[in-house]
Amino acid sequence: MSDLDATTPRIFLARHGETEWTKSGQYTGISDIPLTSEGVKQVTDTGRLLVGPRKLVDPARIARVWVSPRRRAHQTFQHLFGDSISPERVILTEDITEWDYGDYEGMVIGDIRMLRKERGLDQEKAWNIWRDGCQGGESADQVSERLDRLIEEILKVQGPHMDGKEPADVVLVAHGLILRCFVKRWLRYPLDIDLPMIMSPGAIAILSYKNHDVNQPGIYVGMALPSKEE
């Protein structure tokens, strides 16, 4: 058995590539904005390096893919995987859409904080989305609820296969903030815990379990790439 075959099931988090609002720093929730040409290149390059037989993300080992229905996420899935994942393994779900920014959709953080001050909010502390949520949009509790629901589905898929003998990797193709929220919920942290994270457009992050134990969710801070040799 190769080292790759012996791994505990993993969860790959794939952030969509650049959009025009990614470049400008505008909060992009429900707006259905496509990738830029640079965004397509980011994702295509990531896929070329990391996705494929005997690569980090091997389609043959993927049991399920959850994709945000937003166009930028769907484009990212297509550029990463093409037709290498059979349709019955792919699920479009609102559970992994970006945080609903409500009144703050399309705004940058400085303007959001100014707007909230004008509304009499945040007089003592600056707005923090992890704690305060979004007026007209989602609260941290609402985001946690839908991500926890998705985590339960992932555990059902991976729980019986902690020995790595059967393909049980999963992939989430979604958005920058919601994927960082997912990391916190995967580690069983509340969303307002201070856990600084950075995830570039087109990036792939990896979660898994410690000691092959479904009750010990973990995060890879580094992982060796599989050997190309059989």
Binding site per annotation, positions for substrate: 28-29, 72, 98-101
Name residue, tokens 């893919």: 65
Nearest Cα neighbor of 74 from 196, 159, 173 is: 173
Name residue, tokens 């091997």: 58
Calpha distance 31→33 (Å, rounded): 6
152 is catalytic: no
Calpha distance 195→173 (Å, rounded): 21
How many residues belong to the chain? 230
**Paired tokens of 87:** 């349709």
Calpha distance 20→12 (Å, rounded): 25
Calpha distance 11→183 (Å, rounded): 10
Q: How far lies 72's CA from each of 66, 135, 216, in Å?
A: 14, 24, 32
Which candidate in 18, 98, 105, 138 is catalytic? 98
98 is catalytic: yes
Q: Which residues are catalytic?
A: 16, 98
